[in-house]
C-alpha cells in the first residue's frame, strides 16, 4: 500500500529527503533535482560542467552520506545499490543518495547479513556479495570505490566489453599515472594530490566531518 503523502504523515526531514509514514511502510520524497543524476551528466554531452572542484566535492558528499547511513542512523543502513544513477545532484552540485529500493537495515546484533538472491548492479558489486551474498558496510564501500573511479575518469563502471573499470584503472593507480587516469574532458583542471588521496584507501586516509559538514583529514 502506498503511504499517503500528507503533511501530517511527515515524520522527518533527513539529509536526503522528507520521510513520510504510511500504514505499512515509509516513503521518501525527494525534491526534483534540476541536474538529474550524476550518471546523466558524467556520461552525457554536458560533462564539462563537472569541474574538478565539483567532482571532488561530490565524492566527499557521497562519503559523508554513506557515513551517515552506516554510522549515524538509528539502525545501520546498507544501501546496496550505490552507483552514479542513484546519485542526484542539486542545483549547487551537492550529491544526494537516492533509490533506497534495495536498502537493508542490518540487525543490531550481527556484523553482516547473507542474502540468497543477487540484487544490485554488476560492475559495482563487491566480490563477497556476488559469490557469497554477504551484505555489510563494505558492500557500499566497494561500490563507492568504483563510483570514485567513475567520477575521476569519466568512464563507466563496465565498458562496452563488460570489463570492469577496475581492471583498466589498477595499473595506472599503481604507477601513480594521474594524467592518464583522469577524465580527458577535465584538461588540466585536476589536482594530483587530491586524486591520489581519493585513490589510496590502503594508506588509511580517513576523513572526519565537522558538525557543519566540512571534511577534515584525520590520517
Ligand X SMILES: Nc1ncnc2c1ncn2[C@@H]1O[C@H](COP(=O)(O)OP(=O)(O)O)[C@@H](O)[C@H]1O
CB of 214 to ligand X, least distance (A): 26
Contact characters 14-33, ligand X, x per CB under 6 A: ----------------x-xx
Whichever of 86 and 139 has its CB closer to ligand X, that residue is 86
Structural contact between residues 140 and 79, judged by C-beta atoms closer than 8 angstroms: yes
Q: Is 45 left (phi over 0), alpha (psi -120 to 50) or beta?
A: alpha
Query: Helices marked H in the chain — which ranges?
Result: 38-42, 52-67, 127-132, 137-153, 165-174, 178-181, 192-199
Whichever of 99 and 183 has its CB closer to Mg ion, that residue is 99
Structural contact between residues 65 and 57, judged by C-beta atoms closer than 8 angstroms: no
User: Which has the closest alpha carbon to 66: 122, 127, 128, 137?
Assistant: 137
The answer to whether residue 183 forms part of the interface with ligand X (CB under 6 A) is no
Whichever of 99 and 183 has its CB closer to ligand X, that residue is 99
For the question of residue 81 being annotated catalytic, the response is yes
What grid cell was written down for 77?
Answer: 543502513
Contact characters 127-166, ligand X, x per CB under 6 A: ----------------------------------------
User: Which has the closest alpha carbon to 88: 49, 119, 62?
Assistant: 62
The answer to whether residue 86 forms part of the interface with ligand X (CB under 6 A) is yes
Q: Given the rule CB under 6 A, which residues bind ligand X?
A: 30, 32-33, 36-37, 40, 85-86, 88, 98-99, 101
Active site residues: 81
Amino acid at each position: 500500500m502506498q503511504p499517503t503523502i500528507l503533511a501530517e504523515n511527515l515524520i522527518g526531514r533527513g539529509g536526503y529527503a522528507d520521510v513520510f509514514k504510511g500504514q505499512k511502510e515509509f516513503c521518501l520524497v525527494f525534491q526534483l533535482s534540476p541536474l538529474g543524476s550524476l550518471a546523466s551528466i558524467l556520461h552525457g554531452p554536458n560533462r564539462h560542467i563537472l569541474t574538478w572542484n565539483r567532482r571532488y566535492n561530490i565524492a566527499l558528499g557521497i562519503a559523508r552520506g554513506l557515513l551517515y547511513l552506516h554510522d549515524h542512523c538509528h539502525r545501520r543502513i546498507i544501501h546496496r545499490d550505490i552507483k552514479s544513477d542513484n546519485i542526484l545532484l542539486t542545483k549547487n552540485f551537492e550529491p544526494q543518495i537516492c533509490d533506497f529500493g534495495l536498502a537493508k537495515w542490518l540487525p543490531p546484533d550481527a556484523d553482516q547479513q547473507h542474502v540468497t538472491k543477487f540484487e544490485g548492479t554488476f560492475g559495482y558489486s563487491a566480490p563477497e556479495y556476488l559469490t557469497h551474498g554477504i551484505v555489510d558496510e563494505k558492500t557500499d564501500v566497494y561500490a563507492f570505490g568504483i563510483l570514485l573511479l567513475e567520477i575521476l575518469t569519466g568512464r563507466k563502471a563496465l565498458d562496452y566489453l563488460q570489463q570492469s573499470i577496475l581492471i583498466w584503472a589498477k595499473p595506472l593507480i599503481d604507477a601513480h599515472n594521474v594524467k592518464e587516469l583522469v577524465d580527458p574532458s577535465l584538461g588540466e583542471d585536476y589536482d594530483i594530490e587530491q586524486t591520489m588521496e581519493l585513490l589510496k584507501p590502503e594508506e588509511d586516509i580517513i576523513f572526519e566531518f565537522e558538525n557543519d559538514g566540512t571534511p577534515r583529514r584525520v590520517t
